[in-house]
A and B are shown apart, each in its own frame.
Chain A
Amino acid sequence: MSKVAMINDEQALRETSENVLKLAKKYGASDAELSLNRGAGLSVEIHMNNVDKLEYHRDQGLNLTVYMGKHTGSASTGDLSLQAIEDTVKAACNIAKYTEEDKYTGLADAEMMATEVADLDLYHPWDIEADQAIEIARECEQHALQFDSRIVNSDGASISSYSGVGLIANSHGFTGVVPSSRHSLSCSVIGQEVGDDDMQRDYWYSSTRVNSELESAESVGKKAAEKTLARLQGKQISTRQANVLYSPEMARSIISHFTSAIAGGAQYRKSTFLVDCIDEKVFPEFIRLHEQPHLLRAFGSGYFDKEGVATKNRDIVVDGVVQDYIMGSYSARQLGLKSTANSGGTHNLTLDSTGQSFDELLKMLDTGFLVTELIGSGINNITGDYSRGAAGYWVENGEIQHAVEEVTVAGNLKDMFKNIVAVGNDIDLRSATRTGSILIEGMMVAGS
């Protein structure tokens, strides 16, 4: 999508937005808020040097919520024709006639709307043609396949590029437009030891706002191969208590379990193991977790949330103590608090490192389990019970001994948070949540 197309799309979305808000009034809504998006992209997947898939994406959509006093109705459509839009507005208004009065519902407070909106440099369309994309993905896969004879198959190398415009508007008069792009290059290959039936797969990927910042095809391919080779001849270990080091990609999930627990919805429903935890010391004193919404080119950046509420740098955990929840205006009203501008998610949530490199963390782990993959969703948000399938490496004296598979790691999240010993400086920037590896003491590893 070119710059010109973006400007045209932005104009079209603005007109649609005005039309929707006008129609909402006409059909009886006292207030309304909406999000609109429009974008296009391309993705290519290569398998064993063959073009497996070439896909052109073109998406658009409208999500609308209307309020009739304190009654709420929602509707959405992927068809932005005038007729479909009118039908969608009518559907939302019809629903609001049947929903009941909910004193907490409505737009976010008008005085919280974002007023300062600067360019966060999120939009870098890549005019890549199919042939060029195919060539890059092929090169990436070749580097992985040729890395070692034990790489015997590919699970695909792919490249994708997407750019588009998002618009948020509401009947306070707020309209915010965010053009953005995302490009990624990934490779997944399969390894097998000579004379062994078992196969292992692992992958690597690079993902950025700006295509020129993507890792090279060679680097992505080689890392995928290295990761796969390291997993060969994995074995189950016996059931035992162990200290566990989560790689940065896996460590992210530990933070997400915390954010689910302090989400406004979980707090007002008391469906969390951390009920009413503001000012509670949940982590060790060296833990700081904060949001940085205004980083240039980052995936979690934005000057406003889905309700138009202005974002700002803010601390969520300081010295291990919870400062505030993660919520939009609805949950905030339920709790008698103010929105934290998190309708739709967090903004570059960052766990500060305690300074150690990954190698130093391995030394600190000394003997224990390095987790590089988690599967399944064995988390109980209301009790904090945690039990997930895991794969990774057994470490002794700070050195990797062998790959481990078919085991689970289990504990209770409350204890796990308290038992964090260190956070690495090997921060993974490919996501809207930023953390390095996390070392946690005293978990249960179940195996043979």
Chain B
Amino acid sequence: MTQSILQQAQQQLFEPTGLSESHLDKVFSHLQGADLADLYFQSNRFESWVLEEGIIKNGSYSIEQGVGVRMVVGEQTGFAYSDEITFEALTASAKAASGISKIGQSASTQAWKAKQAPNVTALYATDNPLASMTEDEKIALLRLADKSARAASPHVQQVIANIAGVHEHILVADIEGNMNADVRPLVRMNVTVIVEKDGKRESAGSGGGGRFGFDYFTQADRVREYAEEAVRLALVNLDAVAAPAGAQTVVLGSGWPGILLHEAIGHGLEGDFNRKGTSAFSGRVGETVAAKGVTVVDDGTIENRRGSLSIDDEGTPSNCTTLIEDGVLKGYMQDKLNASLMGEKSTGNGRRESYAHLPMPRMTNTYMLPGNDDPEEIIASVKKGLYAVNFGGGQVDITSGKFVFSASEAYLIENGKITRPVTGATLIGNGPDVLTKVSMIGNDLAMDKGVGVCGKGGQSVPVGVGQPTLKIDGLTVGGTDA
């Protein structure tokens, strides 16, 4: 019988400094009177390697660990953290965090005791991805990327390939006695190329990853696929013309273009913005916010995906939460604090960048369920429009609902046919009504390849997106061609 995940986390986080449950009892005694209080222990080992100009140029390794102490009274949160996981540091952090409460220590404090940890389905293996391969094997992956990219086209001038992995242990103990842990692997590989042809240069990248060991990249010829995809994209853009400017019909490809859902819908449905009434979606549960047939979920329970979590950073098992069902807004993504203030239950979306950051409602893997339309018929139905299949980043103004996302691969559609590639197409729209303009939904749901990063309030977390091919009538395209 192997160790439980909780035992593994305790061994990593408590044993080095001899921390025990009786210490936690004393720490929690400083947090009496809290509606919610928790200790978040974390240890991270991160490793990365980079190849450029045909050589392994650099590598880096980092060690991060610490503990964050949070005390919530009503709507008020007190927070302090320490990069030392010792009883003394925990006590000091607890005293600082308790500054949020003017309530003195309760006279009859019950001894803190950990409850039996609930059974949680682990969505990924706990093995250390950094140890899943030797250094030479990791480096060989980068060389393969370099070789594959250069073999794909004589126009390739530069190849930058990097590989990175994290092994993270977390343990959350709350004042109620709940104690839960997770051991999370995460790997990622990216290949960026610069191509030059007839004096014109373009750059493009591709990559993938997930909650695996590095051996993920040795399977299914993935490294070659990333390299060739980066080269293909760069070559396509070499021939691109300026994107048309103005409102038009836009067909979004399947997979990564699901970033639309993340920006236009997802952020606006995070519990904190809705509890405070600052989201364009505030108070709209039950209203129609999308065309019939549109169903969008946030699903943290898909095995091995980059955005998945066995438990969130508050110890709640992750869920598949329906955000929009057949066009109707169903609910929000919640962490414990915002859920309780809104009279709801946490949906397992309480996430934080690290022990030094407070948790907040965040997305996991956000995607739209497939419809019935054949993707080819969707394209064929457009007389004049834009077909956008790859994207860079996006951003949203939660309050006005306005969002943008920038295409890195897009084509003109003319008379039902994909014609020339275009460059510089940024799409802008209004979150609460963009999905009402969806007129066709493909039967080809795909998820992204596992490289997404979401930023909110200065905190970055890994996420995933997905969608089938979608036709949207009348989205503004920010090109330069009048």
Judge whether B476 is part of the interface by a CB distance below 8 angstroms: yes
Q: CB distance B405 to A155 under 8 Å?
A: no
Judge whether A378 is part of the interface by a CB distance below 8 angstroms: yes
Specify which chain A residues have a CB less than 8 angstroms from the CB of B99 in the assembled complex: 54, 56, 130
Partner of B59, one of A99, A241, A407, A411: A99
Q: CB distance B158 to A271 under 8 Å?
A: yes
Q: CB distance B406 to A387 under 8 Å?
A: yes
Partner of B479, one of A91, A201, A383, A444: A444
Q: CB distance B57 to A99 under 8 Å?
A: yes
Judge whether B361 is part of the interface by a CB distance below 8 angstroms: no
Specify which chain A residues have a CB less than 8 angstroms from the CB of B278 in the assembled complex: 153, 155, 190, 199, 201
Q: How many residues of B contact A (CB 8 A)?
A: 78
Specify which chain A residues have a CB less than 8 angstroms from the CB of B59 in the assembled complex: 73-74, 95, 98-99
Question: At the interface with chain B, which of A26-34, A45-53, A352-360?
Answer: A45-53
User: Least Cβ distance of A290 to chain B in Å?
Assistant: 29
Partner of B81, one of A58, A382, A388, A409: A58
User: Once bound together, how far apart are the Cα atoms of A410 and B114, in whole Å?
Assistant: 58
Interface residues of A in 71-116 (CB under 8 A from B): 72-81, 84, 87-88, 91-92, 94-95, 98-102, 105
Q: CB distance B400 to A201 under 8 Å?
A: yes
Query: Interface centre among B66, B139, B400, by most A CB within 10 Å?
Result: B400
Judge whether B172 is part of the interface by a CB distance below 8 angstroms: no
Specify which chain B residues have a CB less than 8 angstroms from the CB of A276 in the assembled complex: none
Interface size class, chain A: 35 or more
Task: Decide if the interface of chain B is mainly helix, strand, loop or mixed.
Answer: strand
Interface residues of B in 51-66 (CB under 8 A from A): 55-66
Specify which chain A residues have a CB less than 8 angstroms from the CB of B397 in the assembled complex: 201, 373, 375, 391
Q: CB distance A380 to B480 under 8 Å?
A: no
Judge whether B277 is part of the interface by a CB distance below 8 angstroms: yes
User: Once bound together, how far apart are the Cα atoms of A388 and B405, in whole Å?
Assistant: 9
Judge whether B194 is part of the interface by a CB distance below 8 angstroms: yes
User: Least Cβ distance of A306 to chain B in Å?
Assistant: 15
Question: At the interface with chain A, which of B19-27, B303-311, B419-427, B465-473?
Answer: B419-427
Q: CB distance B61 to A92 under 8 Å?
A: yes
Judge whether A386 is part of the interface by a CB distance below 8 angstroms: yes
User: Once bound together, how far apart are the Cα atoms of A421 and B398, in whole Å?
Assistant: 34
User: Once bound together, how far apart are the Cα atoms of A87 and B61, in whole Å?
Assistant: 10
Specify which chain B residues have a CB less than 8 angstroms from the CB of A80 in the assembled complex: 83
- Known contacts: A153-B278, A409-B478. The answer to whether A376 contacts B63 by CB under 8 A is no
Specify which chain B residues have a CB less than 8 angstroms from the CB of A98 in the assembled complex: 49, 56, 59, 135-136, 139
User: Least Cβ distance of B358 to chain A in Å?
Assistant: 7
Specify which chain B residues have a CB less than 8 angstroms from the CB of A81 in the assembled complex: 84
Judge whether B429 is part of the interface by a CB distance below 8 angstroms: yes
User: Once bound together, how far apart are the Cα atoms of A388 and B49, in whole Å?
Assistant: 32
Partner of B480, one of A74, A87, A410, A447: A410
Q: CB distance A270 to B425 under 8 Å?
A: no
User: Looking across the interface, which residue of chain A has its beta carbon closest to that of B53?
Assistant: A102
Judge whether A57 is part of the interface by a CB distance below 8 angstroms: yes
User: Once bound together, how far apart are the Cα atoms of A81 and B84, in whole Å?
Assistant: 9
Judge whether B331 is part of the interface by a CB distance below 8 angstroms: no
Query: Interface centre among B66, B93, B245, B396, by most A CB within 10 Å?
Result: B245
User: Least Cβ distance of A134 to chain B in Å?
Assistant: 10
Question: At the interface with chain A, which of B70-78, B206-214, B373-381, B438-446?
Answer: B70-78
Q: Scoring B residues 358 to 375 as 1 if CB is less than 8 Å from chain A, else 0, what string do you get?
A: 100000000000000000
User: Least Cβ distance of B134 to chain A in Å?
Assistant: 10
Interface residues of B in 62-108 (CB under 8 A from A): 62-66, 74-84, 93, 96-97, 99-100
User: Once bound together, how far apart are the Cα atoms of A84 and B44, in whole Å?
Assistant: 13
Q: CB distance B201 to A377 under 8 Å?
A: no
Q: Scoring A residues 395 to 412 as 1 if CB is less than 8 Å from chain B, else 0, what string do you get?
A: 000000000011111111
Judge whether A211 is part of the interface by a CB distance below 8 angstroms: no
- Known contacts: A100-B55, A201-B397, A387-B478. The answer to whether A79 contacts B406 by CB under 8 A is no
Q: CB distance A84 to B425 under 8 Å?
A: no
Query: Interface centre among B84, B139, B399, B405, by most A CB within 10 Å?
Result: B399
User: Once bound together, how far apart are the Cα atoms of A383 and B424, in whole Å?
Assistant: 10
Q: CB distance A375 to B80 under 8 Å?
A: no
Specify which chain A residues have a CB less than 8 angstroms from the CB of B399 in the assembled complex: 155, 190, 199-201
Q: CB distance A389 to B80 under 8 Å?
A: no
Q: CB distance B429 to A411 under 8 Å?
A: no
- Known contacts: A375-B395, A376-B394. The answer to whether A78 contacts B63 by CB under 8 A is yes
User: Least Cβ distance of B95 to chain A in Å?
Assistant: 10
Judge whether A236 is part of the interface by a CB distance below 8 angstroms: yes
Judge whether B1 is part of the interface by a CB distance below 8 angstroms: no
Judge whether B128 is part of the interface by a CB distance below 8 angstroms: no
Q: CB distance A77 to B428 under 8 Å?
A: no
Given contacts A47-B75, A270-B196, A387-B406, 10 further A-B contacts (CB under 8 A): A56-B99, A77-B63, A98-B136, A201-B397, A380-B423, A389-B478, A408-B404, A411-B480, A444-B480, A448-B246
A-side residues, CB < 8 A to B, are 47-48, 50-60, 72-81, 84, 87-88, 91-92, 94-95, 98-102, 105, 130, 153, 155, 190, 198-201, 234, 236, 238-239, 241, 269-271, 275, 373, 375-378, 380-383, 385-389, 391, 405-412, 444-448
10 A-B residue pairings within 8 Å (CB atoms): A52-B75, A53-B77, A54-B77, A54-B100, A73-B60, A270-B157, A271-B201, A378-B392, A406-B428, A448-B476
